[in-house]
Amino acid sequence: MSGYTAHFKVWRGDVKGGDLEDFKVDVNDGEVVLDIIHRLQATQAPDLAVRWNCKAGKCGSCSAEINGRPRLMCMTRMSVFTPEETITVTPLRAFPVVRDLVTDVGFNYQKAREVPAFVPPPELGPGEYRMMQEDVDRSQEFRKCIECFLCQDTCHVVRDHEENKPAFAGPRFLMRVAELDMHPLDAAEESGLDRKKTAQDEHGLGYCNITKCCTEVCPEGIKITDNALIPLKERAVDRKYDPLVWLGSKIRRRSS
Amino acid sequence: MSVVDRQEWDVVVVGAGGAGLRAAIEARERGARTAVICKSLFGKAHTVMAEGGIAASMGNANSHDNWQVHFRDTMRGGKFLNQWRMAELHAQEAPDRVWELETWGALFDRTKDGRISQRNFGGHEYPRLAHVGDRTGLELIRTLQQKIVSLQQEDKKETGDYESRLKVYQECTVTRVLKDGSRVSGVFAYDRETGRFFVLEAPSVVIATGGIGKSFKVTSNSWEYTGDGHALALLAGAPLLNMEFVQFHPTGMVWPPSVKGILVTESVRGDGGVLRNSEGERFMFDYVPDVFKEKYAESEEEGDRWYEDPDNNRRPPELLPRDEVARAINAEVKAGRGSPHGGVFLDVSTRMPAEVIRRRLPSMYHQFKELADVDITAEAMEVGPTCHYVMGGIAVDSDTAAARGVQGLFAAGEVAGGMHGSNRLGGNSLSDLLVFGRRAGWHAAEYATGLAADRPPVDEVQVDAAAAEALRPFSAEGVEPDTGPPENPYTLHQELQQAMNDLVGIIRREGEMEQALEKLAELRVRARRAGVEGHRQFNPGWHLALDLRNMLLVSECVARAALERTESRGGHTREDHPTMEREWRRVNLICRLTDPTGGLAATDPVRGQIDLTRETTDPIRADLLALFEKEELVKYLAEEELYE
């Protein structure tokens, strides 16, 4: 075991303001950043506020910015830093601070409510659903999302632009629209809901200019831009500019 | 004393994991105005960590499967101590609960003909677990979360307010169930973010808070698992059942130290992974107990053939119930045949092509790669037992999920006892959450509606007492100046975890458990002096100081019950009483608070806070017994039961 003493800077404060605080703290072999934050709590700063839960990269609670990069603290190993390096941990920048590393992520819950839910096909009862694996693969990729909101935090549309928040759902919830749109049995269209159109008109897809920042920070490795946003954009564009294609697809689907 | 914000609901659900959310959905759909209150953010509950799947005898992968077979497997897994009516309802209703999830948008992995795929798991006779790769819990929680949102969308349309009929209070902790006589009147809670206290008045409270693993040092459980619901029930006067049964999952990570205990899914073995010791031997063949001898392969060849041809071969012993596998690993390590970091080897790399591993076990691949620098497609994992689940819990009525003795109190999921007997089968937890979450929500709503205007009032004195109790850690110094200095809650927690791990862990001995009770008594006295710095706004030290009360209460239940049960069965292994005794099968151990009126006044270390009594279980219904061969029953049932 090769232990050493690391230099940490952790942002401490609340809605009124705050600053980086310096800590010297022990690091042991195999540890992750969240272990160090916990050690600070147990030994030096018992009231240091941090959100966490599973400590295994499955729940998406311990999101923060480590040396400026949005990451899960539980999945950031100390071995990626040199012992000499100062490690700076700050709260997610796109959301209002509550205290220390904890931010108010209510924006995301609000956006979640604005995406209409799965519409079950009226003609099928429970147990009657039949879907092929290759047809559910695409939506399943998006359902791997652990809602850590790192993509929401990093997306430049809202990161430093509070004013865009009302009109923009963010990558996570545009991906949710794509997920439902690609669900083989979602009956939204039959019920008069055009999900692709809402992505454009109601969830701000047009703000996205596919810089792939969201994909880069996704701890689940979901190809948000390539597999969710771009396909959604392509189809939204089809519909927006070519009503005949839209009408055609509608008729085809009905008669098949 | 305190001006505390109050709101009125019909049903309050404490906990937002699978059971809590399913209960809330049911209660709201039956017309009850329902509040859910949870310690974490909505959608982060411990259920997300469930990996393998949901057990339900849909018969998609093997058409021989049905509820009777599932019931049999569940009873065998629990060594016949299960509250059999729960096991029956669970087996019967699980398929409907899974299919229902599809109508709410869940996307399970599929069979070739487009139905829900089902995988093999320990103790299940047929492939039975509906799954999504190895992230089934996430799919479950997200589906329920999204169903709740969809109900809120409906309410918005109708009333203009998303939260008019169903509201989630996230990042809030309940510290007391309030009562009017023997009836529930509401809950007392604090908001973690602001530290503000509030009361939710409601005639029905569903406890769905999960387990107790954070009382142990090596655990797969998250910080939330501090036994809150168990303690809330005790404090409200409801008894706990069979708390000695704690499941140590056989395969947790053992290295590096900071991830020790994190779960390695049983699917690894279900899909073909094997356990080996340092000599390269598949040791599980040496550990098949007599009661399971006829059901498991005797040679590696037969075990390997079973994956392709299950009708003509028996399953490999790596797929024995979890208690058996955990004990075997423990014994191998003790005998000096362990891996370098004190576990054994779990290998899929020599059993499946790399690309199949990455597809079927993506989270495991990711977890080992990221956290341990181990590529599971190229080398074996090191694994060892980790505290995973508590079979014991709040004693409930099988059909209604009502807690005993307290009107209006219900419990579902891990916090409820009985369903799994002495040991839970993998996959039976997620189905348990859905089956009994729904039942709890249903009966909680029905009870609340039935009361009409006759609602129990909230007692102001109880609210003040609860507020004073919650504020105590801020004035720890000076409360009782003669008793000692304030204690660091983190230190107390670490000492508790170490004691439970070492003294009431996977293998138990009388002397050690007595020692544990002494240690718990000492910690209890010291915990009264747990002090915190800072203020009430999002203060983890304060939260932990309050959670300690619950962990100490529940740990005492575990230790007292474990000391009392002088046999080994399921998740309770006594080195000094190594065999399963048929006489003990009929015995339930019931824990109650010694002094329910005095709260936490009892600091007498000898007396303790928990009273333990024995109870005789209900005889198993004849038609359910008839599902088993007589030769099998004689291994479990006492003489008298067989003749009845």
Q: Which of B486, B485, B600, B473 is nearest to B540 (CA)?
A: B473
Q: How far is the alpha carbon of B219 from chain A, nearest alpha carbon, in Å?
A: 11
DSSP B219-281: BS--TT-S-HHHHHHHHTT--EE-TT-EEEEEEEE-SSGGGTT-B--THHHHTT-EEE-TTS-
Residue A54 has its nearest CB partner, among B49, B150, B533, at: B49
* DSSP assigned state of B66: -
Beta carbons within 10 angstroms of residue B165's beta carbon: 22
The pLDDT value given to residue B476: 65
- Asked if A180 lies within 8 A of B105 by C-beta distance, the reply is yes
In SS3 terms, chain A reads as CCCEEEEEEEEEEECCEEEEEEEEEEECCCCEHHHHHHHHHHHCCCCCCCCCCCCCCCCCCCEEEECCEEEEHHHCEHHHCCCCCEEEEECCCCCCEEECCEECCHHHHHHHHHCCCCCCCCCCCCCCCCCCHHHHHHHHHHHCCCCCCHHHHHCHHHHCCHHHHHHCCCHHHHHHHHHHHHCCCCCCCCCCCCHHHHHHHCCCHHHCCCCCHHHHHCCCCCCHHHHHHHHHHHHHHHHHHCHHHHHHHHHHHHHC
The pLDDT value given to residue B12: 98
**Closest residue of chain A to B370, computed from CA coordinates:** A75
pLDDT, mean over chain B = 93
- Distance between CA B110 and CA B102 in Å, rounded? 12
CATH of the domain at A82: 3.10.20.30
Last residue of a domain, one of A71, A103, A135: A103
Q: Which residues from chain A sit within 8 angstroms of residue B494, using beta carbons?
A: 42
- In chain B, CATH 3.90.700.10 covers 247-387
What was the ipTM of the complex prediction? 0.92
- Residue A102: strand pairing partners: A99
3-class state of residue B27 by DSSP: helix
| B388/A contact by beta carbon, under 8 A | no
Q: Which residues from chain B sit within 8 angstroms of residue A50, using beta carbons?
A: 540
- Asked if B541 lies within 8 A of A47 by C-beta distance, the reply is yes
**Closest residue of chain B to A181, computed from CA coordinates:** B105
- Distance between CA A40 and CA A59 in Å, rounded? 22
- In chain B, CATH 3.50.50.60 covers 5-212+389-460
- Reported as a single tens digit per residue, the pLDDT across B115-146 is 999 999 999 999 999 999 989 999 999 999 99
- Distance between CA A25 and CA B194 in Å, rounded? 29
Residues 6+ apart with CB under 8 A from B53: B118, B119, B121, B129, B130, B131, B136, B267, B427, B430
- Asked if A32 lies within 8 A of B258 by C-beta distance, the reply is yes
**Residues 186-245 of chain B whose Cβ lies under 8 A from any Cβ of chain A:** 193, 222-224
- Reported as a single tens digit per residue, the pLDDT across A51-105 is 999 888 999 999 999 999 999 999 999 999 999 999 999 999 999 999 999 999 9
Residue in the structure block whose two tokens are 């073909």: B272
Residue A248 has pLDDT above 60, yes or no: no
CB pairs under 8 A between A and B: 175
**Residues 306-365 of chain B whose Cβ lies under 8 A from any Cβ of chain A:** 363
Residue A256 has pLDDT above 90, yes or no: no
The pLDDT value given to residue B482: 56
- Asked if A46 lies within 8 A of B534 by C-beta distance, the reply is yes
* Of residues B558 and B643, more confidently modeled: B558
User: Within this chain, do residues A126 and A177 fall inside the same structural domain, yes or no?
Assistant: yes
Q: Which of B553, B222, B228 is nearest to B386 (CA)?
A: B222
pLDDT, mean over chain A = 92
- Reported as a single tens digit per residue, the pLDDT across A1-30 is 478 999 999 999 999 999 999 999 999 988
Strands B11-14 and B54-55: unpaired
- For chain B, the distance separating the N- and C-terminal CA atoms, rounded to the nearest angstrom, is 60
Beta carbons within 10 angstroms of residue A233's beta carbon: 21
Instruction: Give the strand order in the sheet containing B381-390.
Output: B246-253, B381-390, B344-347, B274-276
What's the CA angle centered on B532, arms B527 and B537, to 5 degrees?
A: 130
**Closest residue of chain A to B152, computed from CA coordinates:** A113
How far is the CA of B240 from the CAs of A9, B17, B236, B571, in angstroms? 46, 21, 11, 16
- Do the Cβ atoms of B586 and B84 come closer than 8 Å? no
- Do the Cβ atoms of B146 and B429 come closer than 8 Å? no
Residue range B568-582: mean pLDDT, rounded? 95
The pLDDT value given to residue B480: 54
User: Within this chain, do residues A208 and A177 fall inside the same structural domain, yes or no?
Assistant: yes
The pLDDT value given to residue A14: 95
- Asked if B152 lies within 8 A of A113 by C-beta distance, the reply is yes
Total length of chain B: 644
- Distance between CA B332 and CA B107 in Å, rounded? 40
When pLDDT is cut at 50, 70 and 90, the band that residue B595 belongs to is: confident
The pLDDT value given to residue B3: 66
Residue B607 has pLDDT above 70, yes or no: no
Residue range A102-114: mean pLDDT, rounded? 97
When pLDDT is cut at 50, 70 and 90, the band that residue B254 belongs to is: very high
Residue in the structure block whose two tokens are 């209890």: B524
Residue range B335-350: mean pLDDT, rounded? 95
- Do the Cβ atoms of A54 and A65 come closer than 8 Å? no
Query: pTM value?
Result: 0.94
Last residue of a domain, one of A103, A128, A154: A103
Beta carbons within 10 angstroms of residue B5's beta carbon: 10
- Do the Cβ atoms of B104 and B149 come closer than 8 Å? no
The pLDDT value given to residue A1: 46
Residue B99 has its nearest CB partner, among A53, A127, A132, at: A127
Residue A128 has pLDDT above 90, yes or no: yes
Q: How far is the alpha carbon of A196 from chain B, nearest alpha carbon, in Å?
A: 18
3-class state of residue B122 by DSSP: coil
- Do the Cβ atoms of B320 and B288 come closer than 8 Å? yes
When pLDDT is cut at 50, 70 and 90, the band that residue A250 belongs to is: low
Q: Which residues from chain B sit within 8 angstroms of residue A47, using beta carbons?
A: 532-535, 539-542
Architecture of domain B5-212+389-460: 3-Layer(bba) Sandwich (3.50)
User: Within this chain, do residues A47 and A90 fall inside the same structural domain, yes or no?
Assistant: yes
Range with lowest mean pLDDT among A67-71, A179-183, B191-195, B532-536:
B532-536
The pLDDT value given to residue B360: 87
How far is the CA of B418 from the CAs of A1, A47, B398, B629, in angstroms? 44, 38, 8, 23
The pLDDT value given to residue B533: 84
User: Within this chain, do residues A62 and A17 fall inside the same structural domain, yes or no?
Assistant: yes
- Distance between CA A10 and CA A225 in Å, rounded? 32
User: Within this chain, do residues A92 and A128 fall inside the same structural domain, yes or no?
Assistant: no
Instruction: Bin B245: left if φ > 0, else alpha if -120 < ψ < 50, else beta.
Output: beta
Q: Which residues from chain A sit within 8 angstroms of residue B386, using beta carbons?
A: none
When pLDDT is cut at 50, 70 and 90, the band that residue A234 belongs to is: confident
The pLDDT value given to residue B594: 87
The pLDDT value given to residue A238: 60
- Distance between CA A50 and CA B543 in Å, rounded? 12
Last residue of a domain, one of A84, A103, A122: A103
Instruction: Please give the single-letter amino acid code of residue B160.
Output: G
How far is the CA of B520 from the CAs of A243, B141, B496, in angstroms? 73, 35, 7
- Residue B14: strand pairing partners: B37, B207
User: Within this chain, do residues A12 and A96 fall inside the same structural domain, yes or no?
Assistant: yes
Q: What are phi and psi of A241, to 5 degrees?
A: -100, -10
- Reported as a single tens digit per residue, the pLDDT across A134-150 is 999 999 999 999 999 99
When pLDDT is cut at 50, 70 and 90, the band that residue B599 belongs to is: very low
DSSP B381-429: EEEEEEEEEE--EE-B-TTT-BBTTSBTEEE-GGGB-STTTTSPPTTHH
User: Within this chain, do residues A115 and A181 fall inside the same structural domain, yes or no?
Assistant: yes
Residue A140 has its nearest CB partner, among B132, B162, B366, at: B132
Q: Which residues from chain A sit within 8 angstroms of residue B42, using beta carbons?
A: 109
User: Within this chain, do residues A148 and A121 fall inside the same structural domain, yes or no?
Assistant: yes
The pLDDT value given to residue B1: 46
Residue A55 has its nearest CB partner, among B41, B103, B222, at: B222
Q: How far is the alpha carbon of A32 from chain B, nearest alpha carbon, in Å?
A: 8
B256: cis peptide before it, omega within 30°?
Answer: yes
| B276/A contact by beta carbon, under 8 A | no
Q: How far is the alpha carbon of B169 from chain A, nearest alpha carbon, in Å?
A: 12
The pLDDT value given to residue B475: 82
3-class state of residue B193 by DSSP: coil
**A164: domain range?**
106-255
- Asked if B222 lies within 8 A of A50 by C-beta distance, the reply is no
Angle between helices A106-114 and B136-159 (to 10 degrees): 70
Residue range B196-215: mean pLDDT, rounded? 97
Q: Which residues from chain B sit within 8 angstroms of residue A146, using beta carbons?
A: 48, 138
3-class state of residue B166 by DSSP: strand
| B495/A contact by beta carbon, under 8 A | no
Catalytic positions of B: 322
- Do the Cβ atoms of B23 and B209 come closer than 8 Å? no
Q: Which of A59, A79, A149, A195 is the best residue to mutate to test the B interface, defined by the most B CB atoms within 10 Å of its own CB?
A: A59
Residue A130 has its nearest CB partner, among B114, B117, B193, at: B114
- Distance between CA B97 and CA A126 in Å, rounded? 9
Residue B533 has its nearest CB partner, among A46, A49, A124, at: A46
Percentage of chain A modeled with pLDDT above 90: 87
CATH of the domain at A182: 1.10.1060.10
Residue range B509-537: mean pLDDT, rounded? 92
3-class state of residue B5 by DSSP: strand
Q: Which of B440, B455, B457 is nearest to B30 (CA)?
A: B440
Residues 6+ apart with CB under 8 A from B212: B221, B225, B226, B227, B230, B246, B390, B551, B554, B555, B558
| B474/A contact by beta carbon, under 8 A | no
Instruction: Please give the single-letter amino acid code of residue B487.
Output: E
The pLDDT value given to residue B485: 82
Coarse DSSP helix, strand, coil percentages of chain B, rounded to the nearest 5 percent: 40, 20, 40
When pLDDT is cut at 50, 70 and 90, the band that residue B501 belongs to is: very high
User: Within this chain, do residues A112 and A199 fall inside the same structural domain, yes or no?
Assistant: yes
The pLDDT value given to residue A254: 45
- Do the Cβ atoms of B196 and B190 come closer than 8 Å? yes
Q: How far is the alpha carbon of B297 from chain A, nearest alpha carbon, in Å?
A: 32
Q: Which residues from chain A sit within 8 angstroms of residue B115, using beta carbons?
A: 130
The pLDDT value given to residue B640: 76
**Closest residue of chain A to B134, computed from CA coordinates:** A144
- Reported as a single tens digit per residue, the pLDDT across B295-329 is 999 999 999 999 989 989 999 999 998 899 999 99
Domains contained in chain A, number: 2
User: Within this chain, do residues A141 and A212 fall inside the same structural domain, yes or no?
Assistant: yes
The pLDDT value given to residue B437: 98
Q: Which residues from chain B sit within 8 angstroms of residue A144, using beta carbons?
A: 135, 138
Answer positive or negative: Cα dihedral of B227, B228, B232, B235: positive
- Do the Cβ atoms of B225 and B210 come closer than 8 Å? yes
Residue B600 has pLDDT above 80, yes or no: no
User: Within this chain, do residues A21 and A87 fall inside the same structural domain, yes or no?
Assistant: yes
Instruction: Please give the single-letter amino acid code of residue B573.
Output: T
Instruction: Bin B195: left if φ > 0, else alpha if -120 < ψ < 50, else beta.
Output: left
The CATH number of B247-387 is 3.90.700.10
**Residues 1-40 of chain B whose Cβ lies under 8 A from any Cβ of chain A:** 40
- Asked if B223 lies within 8 A of A52 by C-beta distance, the reply is yes
Residue B364 has pLDDT above 70, yes or no: yes
| B542/A contact by beta carbon, under 8 A | yes
- Asked if A75 lies within 8 A of B370 by C-beta distance, the reply is yes
Residue range B81-87: mean pLDDT, rounded? 98
3-class state of residue B433 by DSSP: helix
Q: How far is the alpha carbon of A148 from chain B, nearest alpha carbon, in Å?
A: 10
- The half-sphere exposure of A73 on its side-chain side, counting CA atoms within 13 A, is 26
Residue range A114-121: mean pLDDT, rounded? 97
Residue A249 has pLDDT above 80, yes or no: no
Query: H or E stretch including B207?
Result: strand B204-207
- Asked if B256 lies within 8 A of A120 by C-beta distance, the reply is no
- Reported as a single tens digit per residue, the pLDDT across B89-101 is 999 999 999 999 9
User: Within this chain, do residues A87 and A35 fall inside the same structural domain, yes or no?
Assistant: yes
